[in-house]
Amino acid sequence: MLFKDIVGQSEVKNKLIRSVRDNRIAHAQLFTGPEGTGKLMLAIAYAQYISCQNRGENDSCGVCSSCHKFEKLIHPDLHFVFPVNETKKKDEDEKSASRQSDAFIRQWREAILFNPYISESQWYETIGLENKLGIINTAESSEVIKKLSLKSFEADYKTMIIWLPERMHINASNRLLKLIEEPPPKTLFLLITENMGALLSTILSRTQIVKILPLKREEIATALVERYRLSPGKAQDISRVANGNFQTALTLTTITEENPYFEMFRQLMRHCYSKNVLGLLDWVDEASSLSREKQKEMMLYSIKTIRECFMLNIGLGDIAYLSGEEADFGKKFSPFVNNSNIKAIYAHYNSAIEHLGRNGNPQVVFTDFSLNMALLINRKT
């Protein structure tokens, strides 16, 4: 994975490249930032640059044998740890093994190569966890210690990438503390977190913090135009809604005119307008029955549609992307999305999406969200 493949983050890229060229590679680094900012891609590109046999001024060469193996995520000195959970197996030894990352390494490689901006809920859906919470258990820490005790096979450095260390069992975290503080020579720990506050203070004190900021709107818009052939207008529209999250932007590019979530959005707003509490509770049940990833998709579609309705309200219908039934509903509904409530509506949507992403209880999240919407939708200017 090359640095040039990563959207934005030029300052972080330059910092990482400079650390290699100046031979000042910190043995344990913590990449922290919101979802969809390219943290995992940066870690892999960094490890590839370190191992590249013919690295350039600003990137890996991309053609040496090491780069070819990194491109497929099969380099023998590149190791991954990520949250998993039990699968249904009868044998206890097999069940124990199924709770470790190596049992899912094929799915992991395929998922990352297909979408390196993958979210936590998307990963869980890939391995069949759906609404369950993944973990990194104590047995996994033993495997990490075992792997890093061996000499490197080809590269100068052995790299251990731990994705979402906040999902580590406390015993696993404690077992790795000594290794993170004093690893074997030429060993690199790259931890990637979206919730630094959930990590043990003892881990934070042993790592160098690398802060990854949300992407800029223009960076997202440019990438959508150049890589996904979107029109500049639609790319700008999506970049506003994405709020610095490229995974959100990618999800929004798949939205079609006949979106399956339109009826759910329309029913929610009708129940909110009429303050139909029983109808809202039925809507909560329906939304809660969706998989975690589909819940987020539904909410992202809804917040995009809210934005289009607001554009209609303020007389900017020429940049509102609604058609068919959506357009008919939007014209009638737009008076209820106005200057007095748009900021609060966005805030409640973003809060609900964040809580869903952190595995909050869907019934609780959607109930609180829908009742707040009922109050806001009735606030007319």
At 143-157, the pLDDT tens digits run 999 999 888 888 889
Count of domains observed in the chain: 2
Check whether residue 165 and residue 297 sit in a common domain: no
Q: Among 211, 240, 267, identify where a domain stops.
A: 211
Q: How confident is the model at residue 134 (pLDDT cuts 50, 70, 90)?
A: confident
Check whether residue 89 and residue 167 sit in a common domain: yes
Taking 70 as the threshold, does the pLDDT of residue 191 lie above it?
yes
Q: Provide the CATH number for the domain around residue 36.
A: 3.40.50.300
Q: What is the pTM of this model?
A: 0.76
Check whether residue 50 and residue 165 sit in a common domain: yes
Taking 90 as the threshold, does the pLDDT of residue 218 lie above it?
yes
Distance CA 161, CA 40 (A): 9
Q: Quick check: is 31 in a domain?
A: yes
At 328-356, the pLDDT tens digits run 888 888 888 888 889 999 999 989 988 88
Cβ burial, residue 143 (10 Å; 0-12/13-18/19+): middle
Q: How confident is the model at residue 323 (pLDDT cuts 50, 70, 90)?
A: low
Q: Among 147, 177, 211, identify where a domain stops.
A: 211
Taking 60 as the threshold, does the pLDDT of residue 211 lie above it?
yes
Q: Quick check: is 232 in a domain?
A: no
Check whether residue 156 and residue 87 sit in a common domain: yes
Q: Among 211, 242, 276, identify where a domain stops.
A: 211
Check whether residue 198 and residue 278 sit in a common domain: no
On whether the CB atoms of residues 26 and 19 are closer than 8 A, the answer is: yes
Q: Quick check: is 217 in a domain?
A: no
Check whether residue 194 and residue 287 sit in a common domain: no
Check whether residue 191 and residue 282 sit in a common domain: no
The arithmetic mean of pLDDT across residues 135-140, rounded, is 90
The arithmetic mean of pLDDT across residues 164-181, rounded, is 91
Distance CA 272, CA 275 (A): 5
Check whether residue 103 and residue 179 sit in a common domain: yes
Domain of residue 134: give its range: 3-211
